[in-house]
Amino acid sequence: MNRYSGEPFAIEFRKVSYRLKNGRELLRDLDLEILPGETLVMLGRSGSGKTTTLRLINRLLEASEGEVLVEGKSVSNWDVIGLRRSIGYVIQDIGLFPHFTVERNIGLIPKIEGWPPARITSRIRELLELVGLDPEVAARYPRELSGGQRQRVGVARALAADPPILLMDEPFGALDPITRSELQRAFLALQQRLRKTVVFVTHDLREALLLGSRIALIDSGHLVAIHEPEQFTSSADPLVSSYVGAFEGVGPRAV
């Protein structure tokens, strides 16, 4: 139970470890509670275990030890397909289906879930507007879009069935700085409206400070510290301050 509101946590890690088959440990004894409606940013260098953490939530990976709970229920007790459909998933490479138009990409899960066509169409329109895309892109193929437009479609697709949780794995990592900052702003506006539980993975401190309601620093498979952005930059923890030091001159909510 959540000590703040009495509701269950949106996502909870209890002493979770993850090892590869060859015995290499990617994550060790992770304890983490994610509150409904917050944007938790997982910050860390490449290979620190942040993507692993994310993939344990939608069961693309299974914990070697410990337990991951989504909405108070262990992920191993969820029907895996049902679990994934209630969690939106956005990755850096986007993974749009190249042989589907934008509208088929976005409408895929609603269609599989058996929504009536009229409802799918209106949902697609609504989502395109939500992520700031012109409705006329609906009929286009992903290859005909810019990188930023594609990532917006990726977000729209993840939101299609209105999942309460959104996992984002370096979604803006491959974009140029201007497009990235546009999408970050769009994300903030979106999150203000939707209040989803978001777990956002990045290695970019500026992005973490801008988007996160809390920031968790992961290093070598360990959770080092978890702070609100204001406290994060002034933390005395040596690992945190060395990470912050690497981005000198960056303050909370500065871009």
Partner 1 sequence: MNIFHFMLQNRAEILELTGEHLWLVGVSILIAVIIGIPLGILITRWPALNKPILGSANIVQTIPSLALFGFLLPVPWIGDRAGRLAILALTLYALLPLIRNTYIGIKGVDPAILEAGRGMGMTARQLLWQVELPLSAGVIIAGVRVATVICVGLATIAAAIGAGGLGEYIFRGLAMVNNQVILAGAIPAAAMALVADVCLGWLEKRLTPH
Q: Which residues in this chain contact partner 1 in the complex, by CB under 8 A?
A: 58, 60, 81-85, 87, 89, 91, 93-99, 108-109, 112, 143, 154, 157-158, 167
When the beta carbons of 96 and 133 are compared against partner 1, the nearer one is: 96
Closest approach, Cβ 112 to partner 1, in A, equals 6
When the beta carbons of 4 and 97 are compared against partner 1, the nearer one is: 97
Residue whose C-alpha is closest to residue 39's, from 255, 210, 186: 210
**H-helix or E-strand containing 169?**
strand 165-169
Angle formed by the axes of helices 117-130 and 102-112, nearest 10°: 130
Closest approach, Cβ 58 to partner 1, in A, equals 6
When the beta carbons of 124 and 240 are compared against partner 1, the nearer one is: 124
When the beta carbons of 112 and 254 are compared against partner 1, the nearer one is: 112
Closest approach, Cβ 169 to partner 1, in A, equals 9
- In one letter, which amino acid is 5? S
When the beta carbons of 96 and 223 are compared against partner 1, the nearer one is: 96
CB 41 within 8 A of CB 211: yes
Q: CA angle, corner 148, sides to 144 and 149, nearest 5?
A: 45
When the beta carbons of 60 and 239 are compared against partner 1, the nearer one is: 60
CB 26 within 8 A of CB 52: yes
Tokens 């940013």 belong to which residue?
41
Query: Going edge to edge, which strands form the sheet with 214-219?
Result: 87-91, 165-169, 197-202, 39-43, 214-219, 222-227
Closest approach, Cβ 179 to partner 1, in A, equals 19
When the beta carbons of 143 and 193 are compared against partner 1, the nearer one is: 143
Query: How does strand 197-202 pair with strand 39-43?
Result: parallel
Q: Is 178 exposed, middle or buried (0-12, 13-18, 19+ CB in 10 A)?
A: exposed
Closest approach, Cβ 154 to partner 1, in A, equals 8
Closest approach, Cβ 38 to partner 1, in A, equals 21
Residues in the chain: 255
Closest approach, Cβ 68 to partner 1, in A, equals 15
